[in-house]
Amino acid sequence: MRVQRILRPAALLCALLTLCTTFNGCSSSYQERTAFAMGSVMTARLYAPEDKADDLFDRMTGKVEEADRCLSANDPASEIAAVNAKGSANAGAFTRKTLGDMVLLCHLLNGTVDVTMGAVTQLWGFSTDEPRKPEEADLQAALATVGLDRLLIDNTNETVVLGEGQKIDPGAFGKGVALDEISNVLHTASYPAVVSFGGSVLLYGQPRNGKSWTVGVRDPFGGENDYFAKLSFTPESGDYTGFISTSGSYEKSFTQDGVTYHHILSPETGYPVETDLVSVTVYAPGGLNSDALSTACFINGLNPQTLQWLQSFGAEAVFVNKDKEYYVTDGLSDAFSLTDDAFTPMAYEG
Amino acid sequence: MKDRAGRFLRPADLIAVAAILLLAGALWLITGNRQGETAQIVCDKEVLYTIRLSDVKEPYEIRLNNGITVAVEPGAIFFASSDCANRLCVRTGKLTRAGQSAACLPHKTLIRVTGRDKAAPDALTG
Amino acid sequence: MNEKRNKLTALTVSAILAAAALAASFFERTLTAGLPLPPGVKPGLSNVAVMFACAVLGLPSALAVTAIKAGFTLLTAGPTAALLSLCGGLLSALTMFLLLKIRKNRLSYAGVSAVGGVMHNVGQLAAASALVGSAMYLNWLPILLLSGVGFGLLTGVILNAVMPALVKLKWFR
């Protein structure tokens, strides 16, 4: 009798314990870490214990620095810089593989973005302190070097060979590649995390307590910290990975002789692309894809072909035009919520 | 044992609770209501300063040794000046709400405001 | 014979109390997951188990329950949280035991529990401040004192309510 009296509540407690374990929602908050890489700020919110977060962040920045050492067009010591300087140079496996991915992506996007635009972007100098409008003759000469078919990635001799005067500019892809590398690191540790890298965002894992990740979409007409809408994502699994990238004409621009030039250059004309759009935000399952797609969608504009691209990559997008009108693709409409009433829906029937 | 279980709240309880409440009140008055936003100044990977913005009574400036001056005001922090070329950081303006940040890339310096703002998104894209 | 049996019962009951404490904290986390409680503010339902241990089984048992709870925090929330839990828990258990034994019959369970709740928060905060090496967290003290009293009274009332039933089980003698 006495034994039963003890056993019965004990059994009950064990059952309760198991039940509660399944609802386990540890409410410890995140560790925030910051680093500077690829000419941008990288901020990570890691939902991990402090010591684990330090180790994880070190590994993340290590991967980013490694990628930067291969791909940076600005760092004279990088492999891509050597290729650009000599027209042909040795390139390690990572550089060749990543460059190959970029070229393939450019082909799939009909050359709307082009990784061989380096000579043109160099003339405009948007990544320097003194961007300027190039002379027409110089621009045409630079434009003549652009072309994916003149770039050779030689895996046998482990070299990359460029066409005459051709230069590689991985600018539209770099942060995406870095976020892909970071997501690989996060996969090995499986702590939930939010990483923003110069305006591109990586969401990893499930937020605590069944909440959603929320990402503010920058207000193209406001300041750096202003957003006009929020995207919320509620992951269904612990290894969820989502990438969000934005291309906006407000990012880098300068005014010369009364004309404002923004930094998103058309590979066709060599000039800033003329469009009604002011920003395109892309949500995709891959970092490289989301980064390249946001640029390609901005350049190509909102049309059936652009929407077709998004669909074929399993991506979704938010388009914003000069009149403060927005268009959200179907797959993202549930995630999208407007926070600034000055913006109105765009009259576009996809 | 039984008498203790039987009676709820004795005079001694009330005295103890009152004493603790009094202590809490006194501490509250001394420390003030300090639940505001916290600002951080990060240089490279290191957090150099952590400032409770609601504690700031008088505006002051922090001169970093890399040519940047950060201004702190009651409830706000911002880049006052920088010797870098584009001075984008100064143009970002005042940060007042949790989740806001401004960066000077040439000097690898970041200021940000953290706090418990439920409405603030986890990240910004743009 | 009787004494040996009492020892065995004490051990068993301690184990059950530890399990109850863990279940209570889990239950509490699920319960308060959606509530906008300030950091560090929580009901501390597992205090009921610790206090029962203090009152009936003695100090070693109460400390053991506290340590097991901290050990479990180590597994679920990491070393920092576990250290905070241990510091708060030990200070709280010690205070409650002293109040129950030395100043016998002056405070009711609710009063002891309220002081215990406060000491738990004080211990945690002190540990957190020591860990960070600054007194920054001490600004939080007034809020934690208030929540400690409030929730301490609550857990005291709960123990008050279940005590007659537990006494009826006649585990001892």
Q: Which residues of C touch B (CB under 8 A)?
A: 36, 38-39, 55-56, 105-111, 114-115, 118, 136, 138-139, 141-142, 145-146, 148-149, 153, 157, 160, 163-164, 167
Strand partners, A116: none
Closest residue, chain C, to B8 (C-alpha): C108
Amino acid in the structure at residue A345: P
- The confidence score (pLDDT) of residue B34 equals 45
Half-sphere exposure (CA, 13 Å, Cβ side) for A115?
30
A225 and B42 in contact by Cβ < 8 A?
no
Which residue from B105, B100, B104, B102 is spatially nearest to B117, judged by alpha carbons?
Answer: B100
- The confidence score (pLDDT) of residue A249 equals 95
Same domain for A214 and A128, yes or no, is: no
Q: Does A15 score more than 60 pLDDT?
A: no
Facing B23 at nearest CB: one of C36, C56, C145: C145
CA distance, residue B10 to nearest chain A CA (Å): 32
C18 vs C20: CA distance, rounded Å = 5
Which of C16, C26, C131 to mutate: most A Cβ within 10 Å? C26
**Chain C residues inside the 8 Å CB shell of A28:** 77-78, 81
C29 and A9 in contact by Cβ < 8 A?
no
Phi, psi of A330 (to 5 degrees): -50, -45
Residue A68 CA: distances (Å) to CA of A76, A78, B53, C148: 11, 8, 36, 51
Phi, psi of A319 (to 5 degrees): -105, 140
A292 vs A175: CA distance, rounded Å = 10
Strand partners, B84: none
Task: Tell whether A205 is within 8 A of chain B (Cβ).
Answer: no
Q: What number of other Cβ atoms are within 10 A of residue A293's Cβ? A: 33
What would the two tokens of residue A246 be?
A: 């934005």
- The confidence score (pLDDT) of residue A12 equals 41
Residue A346 CA: distances (Å) to CA of A45, A222, A338, A343, C72: 34, 19, 13, 9, 54
Q: What is the pLDDT of residues A97-148, one digit of tens each?
A: 999 999 999 999 999 999 999 999 999 999 888 899 999 999 999 999 999 9
Label residue B58 by pLDDT band (50, 70, 90).
confident
Q: What is the pLDDT of residues A315-327, one digit of tens each?
A: 999 999 999 999 9
C20 and A20 in contact by Cβ < 8 A?
no
- The confidence score (pLDDT) of residue C136 equals 56
- The mean pLDDT of chain A is 90
C142 and B4 in contact by Cβ < 8 A?
no
Same domain for A209 and A166, yes or no, is: no
Please report, for chain A, how many H helices and E strands are present, in that order: 9, 17
Facing A200 at nearest CB: one of B93, B103, B125: B125
Same domain for A209 and A107, yes or no, is: no
Label residue A247 by pLDDT band (50, 70, 90).
very high
Label residue A3 by pLDDT band (50, 70, 90).
very low
> Among residues 63-92 of chain B, which lie with CB inside 8 Å of chain A?
85-86, 92
Which residue from A160, A237, A47, A21 is spatially nearest to C26, judged by alpha carbons?
Answer: A21
What would the two tokens of residue C31 be?
A: 């319960």
B122 and A220 in contact by Cβ < 8 A?
no
Q: Does A158 score more than 70 pLDDT?
A: yes
A79 vs A70: CA distance, rounded Å = 5
> Among residues 51-90 of chain B, which lie with CB inside 8 Å of chain C?
none
- The confidence score (pLDDT) of residue A23 equals 33
- Name the DSSP class of A206: P
Label residue A63 by pLDDT band (50, 70, 90).
very high
B31 and C114 in contact by Cβ < 8 A?
no
Query: A318 near A229, Cβ under 8 Å?
Result: yes
Residue C25 CA: distances (Å) to CA of C75, C85, C139: 14, 12, 26
B31 and C138 in contact by Cβ < 8 A?
yes
Same domain for A97 and A143, yes or no, is: yes
Looking at per-residue pLDDT, the higher value among C161 and A241 belongs to: A241
Label residue A22 by pLDDT band (50, 70, 90).
very low
Strand partners, B78: B71
Q: Does A52 score more than 70 pLDDT?
A: yes
Measured between its terminal Cα atoms, the distance across chain B in Å is 66
Query: C155 near C51, Cβ under 8 Å?
Result: yes
Same domain for A157 and A240, yes or no, is: no
- The confidence score (pLDDT) of residue C104 equals 61
- The confidence score (pLDDT) of residue A75 equals 85
Same domain for A162 and A229, yes or no, is: no
Q: Domains of chain C by range and CATH?
A: 2-168 (1.10.1760.20)
- Provide the CATH number for the domain around residue A305: 3.10.520.10
Q: What is the pLDDT of residues C100-153, one digit of tens each?
A: 887 566 788 888 899 999 999 999 888 887 876 655 566 678 888 888 999 999
Of A151, A172, A193, at which residue does a domain stop? A172
Q: What number of other Cβ atoms are within 10 A of residue B30's Cβ? A: 10
Task: Tell whether B117 is within 8 A of chain C (Cβ).
Answer: no
Same domain for A155 and A237, yes or no, is: no
Looking at per-residue pLDDT, the higher value among A18 and A228 belongs to: A228
B126 and A220 in contact by Cβ < 8 A?
yes
Closest residue, chain B, to C160 (C-alpha): B5
Closest residue, chain B, to A197 (C-alpha): B125
Residue C1 CA: distances (Å) to CA of B102, C4, C7, C10, C173: 74, 5, 10, 14, 12
Tell whether A55 is covered by a domain.
Answer: yes
Phi-psi region of C69 (alpha: psi -120 to 50; beta: other; left: phi over 0): alpha
The interface pTM score, or ipTM, of the predicted complex is: 0.83
Task: Tell whether B5 is within 8 A of chain C (Cβ).
Answer: yes
- The confidence score (pLDDT) of residue C137 equals 65
Same domain for A70 and A147, yes or no, is: yes
Strand partners, A40: A37
Facing C33 at nearest CB: one of A10, A50, A209: A209
Task: Tell whether B42 is within 8 A of chain A (Cβ).
Answer: yes
What subunits touch chain A, counting only 3 or more CB pairs under 8 A? B, C
**Helix-helix angle A79-86:A50-71, to 10 degrees:** 10
C142 and B31 in contact by Cβ < 8 A?
yes
**Chain C residues inside the 8 Å CB shell of B2:** 167
**Chain B residues inside the 8 Å CB shell of A230:** 121
Task: Tell whether C13 is within 8 A of chain A (Cβ).
Answer: yes
- The confidence score (pLDDT) of residue C135 equals 58
Same domain for A154 and A222, yes or no, is: no
Residue A91 CA: distances (Å) to CA of A73, A87, A95: 14, 12, 6
Strand order in A152-154's β-sheet?
A: A88-90, A159-161, A152-154
Tell whether A31 is covered by a domain.
Answer: no
- The confidence score (pLDDT) of residue C157 equals 86
Domain span holding position A323? 205-345
Sorted by sequence, the CB contacts under 8 Å of residue A341 that are 6+ apart come out as: none
- The mean pLDDT of chain B is 82
C80 vs C84: CA distance, rounded Å = 6
Which residue from C114, C135, C134 is spatially nearest to B30, judged by alpha carbons?
Answer: C135
* CA A67 to chain CA mean position, Å: 15
Same domain for A54 and A158, yes or no, is: yes
CA distance, residue A273 to nearest chain C CA (Å): 47
Tell whether A272 is covered by a domain.
Answer: yes
Query: A115 near A200, Cβ under 8 Å?
Result: no
Sorted by sequence, the CB contacts under 8 Å of residue A60 that are 6+ apart come out as: A42, A44, A182, A185, A186, A195
Q: Taking CB atoms and an 8 Å cut-off, how many pairs form between chains B and C?
A: 72
Parallel, antiparallel or unpaired: strands B123-125 and A213-218? parallel
Q: What is the pLDDT of residues A97-109, one digit of tens each?
A: 999 999 999 999 9
> Among residues 52-71 of chain C, which lie with CB inside 8 Å of chain A?
none
Same domain for A230 and A331, yes or no, is: yes
Which of C6, C8, C16, C75 to mutate: most A Cβ within 10 Å? C16
CATH class as words, domain B38-114? mainly beta
Looking at per-residue pLDDT, the higher value among B13 and A342 belongs to: A342
Same domain for A224 and A159, yes or no, is: no
Tell whether A198 is covered by a domain.
Answer: no
Give the DSSP per-residue string, C84-151. HHHHHHHHHHHHHHHHHHTTTTTS-HHHHHHHHHHHHHHHHHHHHHHHHTSSGGGGGHHHHHHHHHHH
Phi, psi of A151 (to 5 degrees): -95, 130
Domain borders along chain B are 2-31, 38-114
B92 vs A22: CA distance, rounded Å = 45
